Amino acid sequence: MGFGIISEASISLSHDIRDFEEKAPSWRWNSSYDIDSRDSEVHTLEDLWDAERKKEHMHWTLLFSQLIAQWAQWLANIVLGSGSLIGRLLTLSSGSHNILDWRTIRLSPLQEERLRNLQQRLEIPFDGSHLEHQDALKLLWRLAYPGRELPSLKSELWKEMGWQGSDPSTDFRGGGFISLENLIFFAKKYPESFQKLLHKQEGKRAEWEYPFAVAGINISFMLVQMLDLQSGRPTSLAGIRFLDLLREDEMAFDNLFCVAFEMMDAQWLAKHATYMEFNDVLKSTRTQLERELALEDVTNVKDLPAYNLLRGSRPSPVVSNSAIQPSSSTARLRRSIIRGSVFLKRKSLC
C-alpha cells in the first residue's frame, strides 16, 4: 500500500543525513581567526550561520522522516487489522472512482457465469431488422397498453410510450437490446410501478415531461457505465458491490434497473424538473444509487432502501391499465429518499 516505500525512503534519508553530519566540518566560532586573511581558509560569520542552519534543517528532516515512517506503520496495522474500518473509509469516497483492484476479489463460479452472461447481453445491439427484436418491441407495447391495437413498427403511436420518433429503433443507440429487455422485465415483474411511471400518475408533473421509453434506455446505459460492466471485471466500488448482488440474483441488473427508474422519477418530482434537465436528474440518480450500493448491509437488490418504492407491485404477465393511487407510506418513502440525495447544479441537455 506504499507504506514500505515510505519506510525505505525514510531509512535512506536517515543514512544520508548521518553521512552529511560525519563529513561536514564542525564549524565553531573562534575569535583568533583572521577574517581578512587570504592565505588560509576563512569563513565569515554568515558562512558559519548558514552551515549551522543547514545542519539543523537536516536534523529536523531526519526526525520528520522517522515520524512519517512510524505513522505509516501505524496506519498499515489499522488497515490490515480492521477490514470493516477500511470498508467504511471506502464508502465515504465517490463510487465513480476506480479505488478497488478486481484482482483482489474472488468470484465464485456462479458469479463468473452470471457476469459473463450479462456481459454477453451487453454486446447485442438493437437491430430493427431482426425478427426477435421486432417481437420484443411488440411485446413491450402489449404490456404497456393491453387491449389496444398493436401499431406497425413505424407509427406515430410509439411516441405515446416515450419514443422520440415514429420508429423506436432509432432511439436505442448505445443502449442496445438489453435496454429493451430491461423495459420488458420492468413491465412484467413490477406492472403497477411500470404503469405508474409510464402514465405519470404520481406527483405534480411538468408541462414538458421526460419521455418514458427513452428515459429507460438512458438508465440502462447509465447503469452499465456506473457498474463498469464493459471492462472485463468491474473496478469501481459500485461495480464490486454489484458482484455481490449478482451472487444472490441472476437478474440483479434488471431489478436494479427498475429501482433506478423509480429513483429517477422521485428525483424528477423533487426537483420539479423539465425535459431539458433530464441529464442533471440522471446524475443525481446515479449519485444516490452509488451511495445505497455502498451500504454495508446490502447483499441483494431488495436490501436497497429505494427498493421499497417497488414494493406492492405484484409480478404478473397481465398489466392492468387502471389508475393506481400511491399509498401514504410510498409517498413518505419517496420524501425520505429525496432528503438523502445530493442534487447537482442544473444544466441543459447538449
Q: Which of the 8 DSSP states describes residue 164?
A: S
Task: Give the pLDDT confidence score for residue 252 in this predicted structure.
Answer: 98
Q: How far apart are CA 261 and CA 219, in angstroms?
A: 7
Residue bearing cell 424538473: 273
DSSP string over 282-303: HHHHHHHHHHHHT-TT--SGGG
Reply yes or no on whether the pLDDT at 229 is more than 60. Answer: yes
Q: How far apart are CA 258 and CA 198, in angstroms?
A: 13
pTM above 0.85, yes or no: no
Q: Locate all alpha helices (DSSP H) within 190-236, ordered by sequence.
A: 191-198, 212-226
Query: Where do the domains of the chain lie?
Result: 3-81, 102-339
Task: Give the pLDDT confidence score for residue 232 in this predicted structure.
Answer: 80
Q: Look at 250 and 86; give whichever has higher pLDDT.
A: 250
pLDDT, one tens digit per residue, over 186-213 is: 999 999 999 999 999 888 887 889 999 9
Reply yes or no on whether the pLDDT at 30 is more than 50. Answer: no
Which residues have a Cβ under 8 Å from the Cβ of 60 and sit 6 or more positions away?
A: none
Reply yes or no on whether the pLDDT at 15 is more than 80. Answer: no
Q: How far apart are CA 301 and CA 258, in angstroms?
A: 10
Q: How far apart are CA 22 and CA 16, in angstroms?
A: 10
Four-residue CA torsion sign, 65, 70, 75, 81 = positive
Which residues have a Cβ under 8 Å from the Cβ of 194 and sit 6 or more positions away?
A: 143, 144, 186, 187, 313, 319
Q: How far apart are CA 179 and CA 301, in angstroms?
A: 18
Q: What confidence category does residue 1 fall into, taking pLDDT thresholds of 50, 70 and 90?
A: very low
